[in-house]
Chain A
Amino acid sequence: MVKHLQRTAGQTSSQIGNPKGNMLVPIFTLKLNHKINPRMVTIGKFDGLHPCLTAATQAGKVFIHNPHARGQRPVAHRLSQSTQDSDISLLNINQAVSCLTAGKLGPNTTGETLLVGSQTNLLAYDVHDNADVFYREVTDGANTIVLGKLGDISSPLAIIGGNCALQGFDYEGNDQFWTVTGDNVRSLVLCDFTGDGKNELLVGSEDFDIRVFKEDELVSEMTENETVTSLCHMHGSRFGYALANGTVGVYDRTARYWRIKSKNHAMSIHAFDLNADGVVELITGWSNGKIDARSDRTGEVIFKDNLSSSVAGVVEGDYRLDGQKQLICTSIEGEVRGYLPASKDLKGNLMDTSAEQDLIRELSHRRQNLLLELRNYDENAKGVSETNSGVGVIPANTQLQTALSVKPATEAQRAHVELSISTPNETIIRAVLIFAEGIFEGESHVVHPSVQNLSGCVRVPIVPPKDIPVDLHIKAFVGGKTSTQFHVFEITRHLPRFSMYDISLDSSEVPPNGRVTFSISDRPQRVVMWLNQNFLLPKGVDSPDVTFNSLRGGGHLSISMASNGQITLRTDDIDLAGDLVQSLASFLAIEDLSSEADFPGYFEELRTTLTEVDDFHSVHQKLTAAMADHSNYIRNMLVQAEDARLMCHMTVMKKRYRELYDLNRDLINEYKIRSNNHNALLACLKSVNLAIQRAGRLRVGKPKNQVISACRDAIKSNNVNSLFRIMRAGTASS
């Protein structure tokens, strides 16, 4: 078997042997002449024995590379086949594939099942028997898929993540699991997060959150600063993640171990023990074709290699059938490389250069750095003549003052949080760099006044787009007006979560219609503490009854607490209400909190959306019927036209083809209508899912899950009134 694989390699590309050097090199390299869609690569043993590399390619196709089965084919058959494509079979999905995976789904099957998701459907397919296992319509789309056991559910599930929704199917195609999440799901992984011996589902989504579901109960939530594009399980409760901005890192439970950021994008991450030290490393495939393996503890690179184009996916499998797992990396151009774990005597040293040389270099670097620092102090102690202004001499006691304040909108400037930085003496601030995550377009914001406007004070307007707490890492360049060298002051300031709310002293304003009410058993002082920590208050408050103006929408927010511990939040923004409830509950360490809510404006919108959904559904059905008619018509017309051609009736043939052309144009137009309709439908469904999620966020713990599942039931049974009742009261009854 191994021989066969090697021969394939020989035909399609060059085979690289493992030379004596201590660097890890690929044990096989293949060039499959098919493009591979990023993140849609898997390995499946479809006949129960032979692993096959399976990936989505262009034109809605999935290819299965099976070099092992060749030996089983009759000799004559093999000879007649072209060497190129004999190992590859193509599976036509006829839709753009959005995710795929393979694994054991059914209880009694010998081979593994291939699961292919698209924006509308999920297909479970038995490659070995060439038969569909099931084919389900999924309205929320399948952005990503994972297969495995979840919590106490007995059979393995194929769990797909779509637009704000998660759905799990068993081998019969029954919908066994459903819940909603904050935004479109982009990545999923199953791992034992809590350490209870059962798998939890980790969900990475476009609202930058990684959520952990214990079945349909949300147990943890970690906020990152970009869309979470990949997740992978490392070992125990440790998992790796990748973001759309080029960050990869490792979490252990809710604590981040390390992360690094690159200017390239991480296409695929995978856990594999490449240096054979018994602990898996995080393997990352990058958009520039680089592959690196990083230690799970430190993030230190222990191995790297380069493919010629962007990596499409990183998987593992026993592709040589010799009992050893290989790490298999694929590129979007169809290049495949397999790596064996290092042999024991390499001692985990996979890099090209020798370790001792590196160590010496590293130590010398440190020495050089220390020497330079020492020189800085020595020269500084000697003092510099005042005339040499280029150096940027500043008084030694210069200290930077920073202050944060809320500024309502004026005619010249929109509302913002103002960070003011000033020096106490005649020195000037040449430029200010602020590095912070998630509040600027990039990772940094720069203020660089022109030469005429240089002064000792810089005001930076900050507009955080979301209510998240942020650390601002400020670097200010301080020196003289004509300096060419500046002192860099580094300060970190914390921006509280709800910074874009300005306290309002005018209590006569009409309170907003939307409200959420709940009771807590804590003292009001604790709520006051929470207010002071999470809002930007110039003086601080001493009572829990306050009113704010939102600087974003301009709406009001009022918080009041009755003597019996009942808190009422009044705002028209249901998202804000949810954020406040969640933030307060986690501050007061409340595990379960039920509440009553009413958001008349939002609920009215939702009602309209629900009617729209019905409309779109009926339009969709009508269009589908029309399309079926057309395709019959086309078939007839084509037969007629070809008949005419064979009979040499050229005029008739031309006429038929002209008609066919017109019909084709109609079909294209109809397709456009259909796809618009579909997109509108998707948008509506997403907002419905989002509404359920928002209703859930007004509660904490068990009541939250109850609301979500009750809402779901109400939608399934199409009971709109009950849906709103649940959203208001938290339960269906009453």
Chain B
Amino acid sequence: MELHLNRVDYIQVGVTSQKTMRLLPALGKKATQKVAIADHDGILTCFGMKKGEAVPVFKTLPGQKISRMDLGGAAGTPQEKIFVCSGSQVRGFTKKGKQFLTFEANLTETINAMHVSGADLFVCASYIYNHYCDCKDQDYYLSGDKINDILCVSSEDTSRFSPVLACQDRVLRVLQGSELAYDIEVPGAPSVLELYNKDGGEEILFGTTDGKIGLVQIGERSAATKWEIDNEKKKGGILCIDTYDIIGDGVSDVLVGRDDGTVEVYGFDSSSEPTLRFDHILSESVTSIQGGCVGKESYDEVLTATYTGWVTALTTEPQKAEAGPGDEVRMSKETQSKIEALRAELEQLQVKVLQGREQYQQTSQSSTAVSAVPVFSINDKFTLCQDDASYSLTLEVQTAIDNLLLQSDVPIDLLDVDKNSAVVSFSECDSEQPNGNFLLATYRCQANTTRLELKVRSIEGQYGTLQAYITPRLQPKTCQVRQYQIKPLSLHQRTHSIDQDRPMNRLSLVGQFSFAEIHSWVVFCLPEVPEKTPAGDSITFHFHNTFLGTQLEASYCKGEGHFRSDNISTISILSDVLSKEATKRKINLNVSYDINDDSVSHTLNMIHPKLEYQLLLARKVQLIDALKELQVHEGNADFLIPEYRNILDESANLLEEYKKQPAHLERLYGMITDLFIDKFKFKGQNVKTKVSSLLEILDNYDLNSLLDFFSEA
């Protein structure tokens, strides 16, 4: 069954956060629903559609930025009360716009996730979870890592309810009162939770920042994963999920909005496996998604809200057949009046802006006045991609970007991204000068680019800051700088557990440092570690290297730290950085190593298949052109040996694969060289002079000769 949805834009409000648009339940017989949306200007707008025109029901006054919205109501009644949170305050509005609740949660931090269920209110600030019932404090929980979303599931008989927290450290934490009941490991950092069945039930959908979706059933003591959808096509991270039967087959479909602007509808086949039925690309992050009926009766639609505040519907209503010759006739009366109204408004604004400009010019004559342009909001994300071990940086601004300046004080490579249409230009960095620039690049954007995606590749052991200066096309012109840390072990990612059977090297630190101090050093070295010092006396984190697959275990407490890894280079980098950090704070460290020589050959064995594959690929790609020429010359390829014929048949795939991994081989060579140097560094030998012979061996690669070289040298 094919699904055709047509795009219709409704209105534009201010910049929106994740999950800030909801559809109010339909009233009685009336089939169309009202939309409630809240934005960063603090305005809550509720509107309905009448003849293609947005008719506001109510609109609140501007205030503090609204970060979440939820609907609620007494159990058993329609869930049509609107709750919004801004700062540490929660407000409730009736569907008519009357404010009936103002509740100060008395948190020091701002609320970033909220769930309402009957008289129960669940709010989360970055690490804190609070449960209020009838505005009275009930439960409290301090999470180990940042909380991204919260949901509450109840059992069939509603006697028991369990709040579920989506935490940045890749787990869903299920609570029981103020205690952790158990946690569920998920494949990525979960960013959003949604009930699979809107009426309740124990099944919840989760979406991750790296674009995966899954369904889990929350039991009393344990959870069961029903299905998971991988993100093979490298689409954006999930920002919002809803369930609605848009296909009309009687089964609720899963609607998904991603941060790269993709909207997807997953249906279920007879075996209840989710399959992609529809996708559409909007040009900016989709912050909220809802299924319902807004525009016209009996036409279901997928309603989305984007970062810049556009409310857009993908409706099942067919677009009118455009008959008639002239443009004027084709345009429906509604759109015409809409356009006229817009034009009139534009003219008025134009006049006002001109006045504003003049005044601004006048102030520049005065010697006492100051010029301060308000901060524009930037939606940015800097994440490590597991598949190609590179960082992806996405930047989104509410208005078109004019140019972007990237500056880095560490050596990094900037990779080309197909989606990105901006013209990049690299500027010379004179490293002699004390400015310490390793990368200076400008991106000049095409008109109407509000979202930019970049990819950078870092080298482990080299750390510093990447800065992005974003200049939007907005008068008076300003630019904002954003900083991103490239950490010493930048290619590591958190995992839930490690393989204990591998040969491990150990680095131990003993000294007069506090738990908070050593934690801050670990935060400095490794990505995905919560900034807050963990509760308790000691902590253990597990990581794996996304490029090589080696692992690291960090466990530390006050005065003592142990780091175990099967990769000797990881240990070497850690030891360098940690002792440097300790010296900075004038803390004496007692560093001891426990080096396992087997670990080196183990790491080389792990690299081996990757290296062999890359070498083979390079060799095959090298042959393609020559083979093709032979084929043209001879008219066919029958005379070639099967191996070569195979290369010809696969040439398109091979080239694709080769293009996907630029400089992969060089990176592997670099890591093997580091391994070599580090191995002997721990033995107190400097083998830098032997690196050239190592490279020679790599050029004629054979695992055994490489292993021999490592053990002999």
> B364 to A441, Cβ gap below 8 A?
no
What residues on A are CB-neighbors of B376 within 8 Å?
372
Encode contact with B along A432-462: 1 for CB under 8 Å, 0 otherwise: 0101000011111110111011000000000
Encode contact with A along B355-384: 1 for CB under 8 Å, 0 otherwise: 011011001111101111111100000000
> B475 to A373, Cβ gap below 8 A?
yes
**Docked CA distance A395–B332 (Å):** 51
Q: Indicate whether A355 reaches chain B with its CB closer than 8 angstroms.
A: yes
Q: Which of B343, B353, B424 lies at the interface centre, i.e. has the most chain A CB atoms within 10 A of its CB?
A: B353
Select from chain A the residue with minimum beta-carbon distance to B323.
A345
> A57 to B364, Cβ gap below 8 A?
no
**Docked CA distance A386–B368 (Å):** 13
Q: Indicate whether A354 reaches chain B with its CB closer than 8 angstroms.
A: yes
What residues on A are CB-neighbors of B409 within 8 Å?
450
**Docked CA distance A666–B363 (Å):** 82
Q: Looking at the complex, which of A376-384, A507-515, A524-532 is the stretch in contact with chain B? A: A376-384
> B480 to A488, Cβ gap below 8 A?
no
Whether A383 contacts B370 in the complex (CB less than 8 A), given A378-B356, A444-B442, A488-B478, comes out as yes
Q: Indicate whether B108 reaches chain A with its CB closer than 8 angstroms.
A: no
> A377 to B325, Cβ gap below 8 A?
no
> B359 to A360, Cβ gap below 8 A?
no
> A357 to B8, Cβ gap below 8 A?
yes
> B442 to A433, Cβ gap below 8 A?
yes
Whether A443 contacts B425 in the complex (CB less than 8 A), given A380-B371, A448-B407, comes out as yes
Q: From B374, B375, B425, B435, give the contact of A442 (CB < 8 A).
A: B425
> B356 to A22, Cβ gap below 8 A?
no
Q: From B343, B349, B366, B481, give the contact of A374 (CB < 8 A).
A: B349
What residues on A are CB-neighbors of B428 within 8 Å?
440-441, 445
Shortest Cβ gap from B175 to chain A (Å): 37
What residues on A are CB-neighbors of B342 within 8 Å?
360, 363-364, 367
Q: Indicate whether A138 reaches chain B with its CB closer than 8 angstroms.
A: no
State the main secondary structure of chain A at its contact with B: mixed
> B356 to A377, Cβ gap below 8 A?
yes
Q: Looking at the complex, which of B28-36, B65-73, B498-506, B624-632 is the stretch in contact with chain A? A: B624-632
Q: Looking at the complex, which of B263-271, B415-423, B565-573 is the stretch in contact with chain A? A: B415-423
> A397 to B424, Cβ gap below 8 A?
no
> A377 to B308, Cβ gap below 8 A?
no
**Docked CA distance A452–B436 (Å):** 11
Select from chain A the residue with minimum beta-carbon distance to B418.
A288
Q: From A57, A246, A453, give the contact of B435 (CB < 8 A).
A: A453
> B372 to A435, Cβ gap below 8 A?
no
Shortest Cβ gap from B261 to chain A (Å): 14
**Docked CA distance A489–B478 (Å):** 8
**Docked CA distance A90–B629 (Å):** 13
What residues on B are CB-neighbors of A262 within 8 Å?
421, 423
> A446 to B371, Cβ gap below 8 A?
no
What residues on A are CB-neighbors of B353 within 8 Å?
370, 373-374, 377
Shortest Cβ gap from B686 to chain A (Å): 31
Q: Looking at the complex, which of A479-487, A672-680, A713-721 is the stretch in contact with chain B? A: A479-487
Q: Indicate whether B440 reaches chain A with its CB closer than 8 angstroms.
A: yes
> A396 to B356, Cβ gap below 8 A?
no
**Docked CA distance A357–B339 (Å):** 10
What residues on A are CB-neighbors of B399 within 8 Å?
368-369, 372
Q: Indicate whether A477 reaches chain B with its CB closer than 8 angstroms.
A: yes
Chain A 618-658 interface residues, beta-carbon cutoff 8 Å to B: none
Chain A 370-408 interface residues, beta-carbon cutoff 8 Å to B: 370-381, 383-384, 386, 390-399
> B8 to A396, Cβ gap below 8 A?
no
Q: Indicate whether B647 reaches chain A with its CB closer than 8 angstroms.
A: no
What residues on B are CB-neighbors of A357 within 8 Å?
7-9
> B356 to A345, Cβ gap below 8 A?
no
Q: Indicate whether A490 reaches chain B with its CB closer than 8 angstroms.
A: yes
Q: Indicate whether A297 reaches chain B with its CB closer than 8 angstroms.
A: no
Q: Which of B373, B376, B482 lies at the interface centre, i.e. has the most chain A CB atoms within 10 A of its CB?
A: B373
Q: Which of B424, B442, B479 lies at the interface centre, i.e. has the most chain A CB atoms within 10 A of its CB?
A: B479
What residues on A are CB-neighbors of B332 within 8 Å?
356
Q: From A363, A393, A399, A484, give the contact of B372 (CB < 8 A).
A: A393
Shortest Cβ gap from B95 to chain A (Å): 27
Q: Indicate whether B327 reaches chain A with its CB closer than 8 angstroms.
A: yes
Select from chain A the residue with minimum beta-carbon distance to B635.
A85
Q: Indicate whether B711 reaches chain A with its CB closer than 8 angstroms.
A: no
Shortest Cβ gap from B586 to chain A (Å): 22
Q: From B12, B331, B434, B482, give the contact of A356 (CB < 8 A).
A: B331
Encode contact with A along B575-613: 1 for CB under 8 Å, 0 otherwise: 000000000000000000000000000000000000000
Chain A 580-597 interface residues, beta-carbon cutoff 8 Å to B: none
Encode contact with A along B318-345: 1 for CB under 8 Å, 0 otherwise: 0100100101001110010011001101
Select from chain B the residue with minimum beta-carbon distance to A449.
B435
> B479 to A485, Cβ gap below 8 A?
yes
Q: Indicate whether A70 reaches chain B with its CB closer than 8 angstroms.
A: no
**Docked CA distance A374–B474 (Å):** 10
Select from chain B the residue with minimum beta-carbon distance to A484.
B481
Select from chain A the residue with minimum beta-carbon distance to B41.
A375
Whether A34 contacts B632 in the complex (CB less than 8 A), given A359-B339, A431-B405, comes out as yes
**Docked CA distance A390–B335 (Å):** 43
Q: Indicate whether A617 reaches chain B with its CB closer than 8 angstroms.
A: no
Whether A396 contacts B339 in the complex (CB less than 8 A), given A380-B360, A446-B407, comes out as no
Q: Indicate whether A702 reaches chain B with its CB closer than 8 angstroms.
A: no
Q: Indicate whether B3 reaches chain A with its CB closer than 8 angstroms.
A: no
Q: Indicate whether A347 reaches chain B with its CB closer than 8 angstroms.
A: yes
**Docked CA distance A433–B440 (Å):** 10
Whether A371 contacts B628 in the complex (CB less than 8 A), given A376-B373, A394-B370, A488-B477, comes out as no
**Docked CA distance A261–B422 (Å):** 9
Q: Which of A262, A372, A379 lies at the interface centre, i.e. has the most chain B CB atoms within 10 A of its CB?
A: A372
What residues on B are CB-neighbors of A246 within 8 Å?
423
Whether A486 contacts B346 in the complex (CB less than 8 A), given A355-B327, A365-B448, comes out as no
What residues on B are CB-neighbors of A174 within 8 Å?
none
What residues on B are CB-neighbors of A347 within 8 Å?
325, 327
Select from chain B the residue with minimum beta-carbon distance to A363.
B342
Q: Indicate whether A324 reaches chain B with its CB closer than 8 angstroms.
A: no
Whether A443 contacts B366 in the complex (CB less than 8 A), given A383-B372, A488-B477, comes out as no
What residues on A are CB-neighbors of B493 within 8 Å?
none
Select from chain A the residue with minimum beta-carbon distance to B425.
A442
Q: Indicate whether B350 reaches chain A with its CB closer than 8 angstroms.
A: yes
Chain B 395-430 interface residues, beta-carbon cutoff 8 Å to A: 398-400, 403, 405, 407, 409, 416, 418, 420-428
> A448 to B435, Cβ gap below 8 A?
yes
What residues on A are CB-neighbors of B532 within 8 Å?
none
Q: From A373, A384, A477, A484, give the contact of B474 (CB < 8 A).
A: A373
What residues on A are CB-neighbors of B480 within 8 Å?
484-486
Shortest Cβ gap from B176 to chain A (Å): 42
Q: From B339, B426, B442, give the contact of A363 (CB < 8 A).
A: B339
Q: Indicate whether A198 reaches chain B with its CB closer than 8 angstroms.
A: no
**Docked CA distance A372–B481 (Å):** 19
Q: Indicate whether A325 reaches chain B with its CB closer than 8 angstroms.
A: no
Shortest Cβ gap from B149 to chain A (Å): 28
Encode contact with A along B118-146: 1 for CB under 8 Å, 0 otherwise: 00000000000000000000000000000
Shortest Cβ gap from A728 to chain B (Å): 42
Q: Indicate whether A263 reaches chain B with its CB closer than 8 angstroms.
A: yes
Give 7 CB contacts A-B under 8 Å.
A262-B423, A263-B420, A376-B374, A392-B373, A395-B370, A441-B428, A452-B434
The 9 closest A-B pairs by CB, nearest first: A442-B425, A377-B356, A488-B477, A396-B369, A446-B427, A379-B374, A446-B440, A384-B372, A370-B349
Given A390-B375, A475-B471, 20 further pairs, Cβ under 8 A: A246-B423, A263-B416, A263-B422, A263-B424, A357-B7, A357-B8, A357-B9, A360-B342, A370-B352, A373-B353, A374-B356, A376-B356, A380-B360, A392-B478, A393-B370, A393-B371, A399-B364, A435-B444, A444-B425, A487-B478
Chain A contacts to B: CB under 8 angstroms: 22, 34-35, 57-59, 61, 85, 90, 246, 261-263, 288, 345, 347, 353-357, 359-361, 363-381, 383-384, 386, 390-399, 430-431, 433, 435, 440-446, 448-450, 452-453, 475, 477, 484-490
